Structure 1
């Protein structure tokens, strides 16, 4: 992507199928496309933000169980709606919150940032390499034969989603299984990523105001990743 218009055009093609809204009419996806990023590994600013997120999560949890947090419970219910077992395949927010005591993962500057924002704002948030997309992103109910490239037993494999599963995909295959559970290897953020797509997932009780606040926070931090960072965003909601 070379300019803001190209980012807007990419996001204009994004869609969420009616079958997904039938599962959760309250679902909203806020998509943020970013270009002009200066790539790099984990850095001090990211480390400080992760530590802030860890402290905030410990304070919010207190003596509660992770699964009793409203945001976690809402996504557990969404997973059950398409047949997934949330105690076995946890949505991305719950997966991060369960790692807080041991420490959130440190991966690279982009991944560290979106993980921290996810925990701070209590919503699932994924990031992918925009340059590796073929066609715009789509959230659909799986047929079951869509290719999903992953690792199993230390080897590269092509897996497939369960029929009816909520999946993000492009024209080539699945980019993220079970709404926000596991990303494909093909579109993962890397240390050399210069263009990225971020997907912020929202269900009630998260308000639109809180959703946009999380997006604003993410964009503010992304602006330090280069002198020519360009950002486009689009909210996709039900009818």
Structure 2
């Protein structure tokens, strides 16, 4: 059974981080009601303005904390945390379109709580998943591309035995493990580095799990990894 393992080189940089997972099994991610998910995202975009109260975009706490985090490891120039990318679109009045139910659900949770959320198709994984520093040799074809763009050596990545599956921690996802309408089993995660927001983090995880269960069926399991609990079995 595949495991999710957070390695020591990650904890050496981010000892107080928490990675919350929602493991979804037997879901139906086919698109049945586009309007439902479009409305979900529209409502979330309205709520996201609470995180944009500082006039200078990068001074907003949910953005600045991740800017600081990204300075602790090697990144691709211009790479930003996923929540910053979403909030920039909200600030610029650029609506976030629907993609598929799972992605729409986790994007709405990300916006409502000001926390980065992501997801992968478990059935595409090759062996265990690790959150760690890259060697720089991992194959990686990003979404929207057909060319390899391996991570830098020392970059924080999610990876499996076949290569990187998310670069710069939570910046860019791989085409190979992307969530699609055919996804039946999904690995979703929410990442926390601001210890003052632990309550919101746990609320976001529960709301994410509840939303997936309500809209897509199947079974969901929440598990949180931290420096005292560094690995989990994805199924089982």
Output the CA distance in 1 between the equivalents of 2:99 and 2:114. 20
Output the CA distance in 1 between the equivalents of 2:110 and 2:142. 23
**Other structure's SS at 1:112 match:** helix
**Counterpart position of 2:38:** 47
**Other structure's SS at 1:157 match:** coil
Match of residue 180, structure 1, among 170, 182, 198? 170
CA contact (8 A) 1:126 1:199 kept: yes
- Unaligned 5+ runs, structure 1: 1-8
Query: What TM-score do the two structures reach when normalised by structure 2?
Result: 0.88
CA contact (8 A) 1:148 1:158 kept: yes
Q: Does 1:194 align with 2:188?
A: no
**Other structure's SS at 2:148 match:** strand
**Counterpart position of 1:24:** 14
**Counterpart position of 2:97:** 105
**Other structure's SS at 2:89 match:** coil
CA contact (8 A) 1:71 1:206 kept: no
Output the CA distance in 2 between the equivalents of 1:186 and 1:85. 20
- Give the RMSD, CA atoms, in angstroms: 1.9
Q: Does 1:168 align with 2:172?
A: no
Q: How does 1:3-18 map to 2 (within 5 A)?
A: 10=2, 13-18=3-8
Output the CA distance in 1 between the equivalents of 2:98 and 2:216. 21
Output the CA distance in 1 between the equivalents of 2:20 and 2:185. 17
Output the CA distance in 1 between the equivalents of 2:16 and 2:50. 28
**Counterpart position of 1:204:** 194
Runs (4+) of structure 1 exceeding 3 A deviation are: none
Output the CA distance in 2 between the equivalents of 1:83 and 1:155. 22
**Other structure's SS at 1:117 match:** helix
**Other structure's SS at 2:15 match:** coil
After superposing the two structures, state which structure 1 stretch, 51-60 or 117-126, moved more.
Answer: 51-60
Match of residue 136, structure 1, among 128, 132, 135? 128
Output the CA distance in 1 between the equivalents of 2:213 and 2:145. 37
